[in-house]
Amino acid sequence: MKKLFYIIILFSISRQIIGQTNIVPNGSFENQYSCPNGYGLLANAISWFSPTNTTTDLYDSCSVYSNVPYAQGQFLSPIYSMSGHAFIGMHQYSSGNREYAQVKLIDTLIANGCYYAEFFTRVQGICPQAINGMGINFSATSYTNFPSGPAIVQPTQITRYNNPIIKDTLDWAQVNGIYTATGNEAYLTIGNFNDNPNTDSSFWHPTSPWAFGEMSYYFVDAVSVYSINPNEILPWSYKDTSIFLGNSVYIGNYMGGNFNPSWYTYSGNLIANNAGITVSPTITSQYVIQFTVCGVPRADTIKVTVINDVGVVEQSINSSDLIVSPNPNNGLINLSISNKDFVLQNSMIKIYDMFNRELKSVKLLSKSQSVPIQDLNDGVYYLQFYQGEKMLLTKKIIKH
């Protein structure tokens, strides 16, 4: 059977893009008036507030009520922040109150200005439902005049491409895109701006122990907005990649907002109008993406190198064969390969961050080896095991 091998090409985004400053104050909710020793305390995060006076939650490692990682009560497994030691949580689809998080931007948006915006989100693991609609709204005024309870029905300028239902529970899903400002937008609000009848939902946890049948709760972290020049370097990139003959690869991203790209073969035949495409070339091929950024046409070319491994004896290794401990760790991981038949030849591990940036590469000299990672910040990383140019498996590691 043909193997399906996805390499998700994440676009590399720095927390500070091309020398620009994030105009969302306290975008990771780290700066606080006091530790949130209770629930519904979004206002403890400096600059942030709940515009409809609902109970948006602030989670922080300092709190016994909302400690990070949160492994108590209704949460089935530890939840680590995307950035730093804090994040927030909101009810987004229910018969009760709809919750939001709002902040006043450092700079008011300029008419026809080009902006890149993003945040990261994940659904609470045992909610009965997952939904679409999670996004960003820019507005000239605050929504403090809206009543508590129902949805704030307003335009959503930034969602994931095609606004899919977000079902990520273990990883943070990136919601990002391009926005051309009308001018005077001074506030950013995060949440679902569609009422329940206009929200797509999925009963993906029908046996949830939560009592609310129509219930969806999402975590949010790492909010940012940058002013960009559409003629210069963009805050994301497309990467060349390689696959073995018979495999497939996803190239592109999931960026939404005012971003509508088209993909072509190198000879100019249209493939699809989408943020990304899955391709299965039998020979090394190039693909062209054309798009506009705030009215400026741009293009890029992605090369997919096909490696013909005919005649090469392939080795296989299961995830359970590679033991990484301790995990979480405090700066030193121990690798152990339990598969006695695996030949350790030209093998190495690479460590990537959440943006697919390679941070460390270590050659494996034995089946039991320690790898120091004290130089990495606390957070979630991906360890990939390679033999030659072939990636055999991926494991998530957590440093704290």
In the chain, what are the domains? 42-227 (2.60.120.260), 241-307 (2.60.40.10), 319-399 (2.60.40.10)
Distance CA 270, CA 288 (A): 9
**Cα-based angle 212, 57, 22 (whole degrees, multiple of 5):** 130
CA distance 33 to 48: 11
Q: What pLDDT, on a 0 to 100 scale, did the predictor assign at position 8?
A: 34
pLDDT, position 209: 52
The pLDDT value recorded for residue 203 is 64
The pLDDT value recorded for residue 311 is: 45
How many whole angstroms from its chain centre is CA 16?
17
66/36 Cα distance (integer angstroms): 7
Q: Which residues pair with 268 in a beta bridge?
A: none
Phi, psi of 320 (to 5 degrees): -70, -15
The Cα 306–Cα 288 span in angstroms is 17
Contact 225, 23 (CB under 8 A): yes
Q: Which of 294, 164, 172, 180 is CA-nearest to residue 223? A: 172
The pLDDT value recorded for residue 31 is: 95
Distant-in-sequence, close-in-space partners of 141: CB < 8 Å, separation ≥ 6: 186, 187
C-alpha to C-alpha distances, 208 to 79, 212, 215, nearest whole angstrom: 18, 9, 10
How are beta strands 215-227 and 114-123 bridged, if at all? antiparallel
Q: How far apart are CA 174 and CA 172, in angstroms?
A: 6
Residue written as tokens 């000879």?
267
**Sheet with 368-372: strands ordered across:** 322-325, 332-337, 368-372
- Rounded to 5 degrees, φ, ψ at 160 are -65, 155
In tens digits, what is the pLDDT along the chain, a chain of 400 residues?
333 333 333 333 334 454 578 999 999 999 999 998 888 899 999 999 999 888 899 988 888 765 555 534 444 456 778 878 899 999 888 767 889 999 999 999 999 999 999 999 998 877 778 899 999 999 999 998 888 878 899 999 999 999 999 988 778 899 999 999 999 999 999 999 998 889 888 765 555 555 455 578 899 999 999 999 999 988 888 888 888 888 888 999 999 888 889 999 999 999 999 999 999 998 889 999 999 999 999 999 999 988 775 544 456 778 888 889 888 888 899 999 888 778 777 888 999 887 677 889 998 888 888 899 988 888 888 899 988 778 888 888 888 8
